[in-house]
Amino acid sequence: MRSAKKCLCLLMAWLFSVLCLLRAFSFSACAEEQVIYRSAQSDTMKIAITFDDGPHPSLTPRILKILEEYGIKATFFMVGVNVTNYPDTARLVIDAGHEVGNHTYSHRSIGKMDPASIARELEDCEDVLEELCEYRPHLFRPPQGAVNTYVEHCAAAEDYTLILWSLDTRDWECKNTEQIVDEVLSKVQPGDIILMHDYIGTNSKTPEALEILLPKLLERGFEPTTVSSLLGLQ
């Protein structure tokens, strides 16, 4: 009897090990197939300007007005809870013809989450955008750019394209307008995906920086557009 129990325990341990290996393999295989975009190989002057963390009831409309002045379309990676709180502002973005991406529902760090929790963050944000704005996003940017095997797997399983960035303005921490402008103009290259924010706690300089940046970028021949247009995903 003792010998039979020992064999059963060994068999269960072996089965558990096989299941773990299969799970790891499935995540790894899926992750290998998932492309993470930080920029685009471009023979044009196209760039993409993106805004994270909104919508914000006052900052987002200010940014929309500036973009409209120059006839520019951008990509807004929205947080689900902010869409829930400010659905009218979210609809303003969509009605103006801008692209919207999924930035999770709660903006919690997903780097240490299990796959079920990551999927829930994606699905909950998607649900509020569909219910309140009749919009189904296809781009996903994880908060803080946190990407691992689980994040890649969940993005692929939910049919999302993973988008990061190549030029970080760090506008969320910088309170100096000229510093934000200089950070972009000193580094920008064709094909860049530029990271900005339309939801910053206090004293955001993003609208002021954008007002200076856009005409200067246009003067240099850059063509700001949406992420999907830049990457040829449309």
Catalytic residue positions? Answer: 52, 197
Give Cβ neighbours of residue 113 (< 8 Å, ≥ 6 apart): 121, 150
Question: Which DSSP string corresponds to 114-161?
Answer: -HHHHHHHHHHHHHHHHHHH-----EE--GGG---HHHHHHHHHTT-E
Whether residue 143 has a cis bond before it, omega within 30° of 0: no
How far apart CA 104 and CA 165 sit, in angstroms, is 17
Contact by Cβ (8 Å): 162, 36: yes
β-strand pairing of 36-37 with 193-197: unpaired
Angle (nearest 5°) at CA 124 between 167 and 97: 55
How far apart CA 198 and CA 59 sit, in angstroms, is 6
Closest CA to 183 of 162, 212, 204, 203: 212
How far apart CA 2 and CA 6 sit, in angstroms, is 6
The two tokens of residue 37 are 């975009």
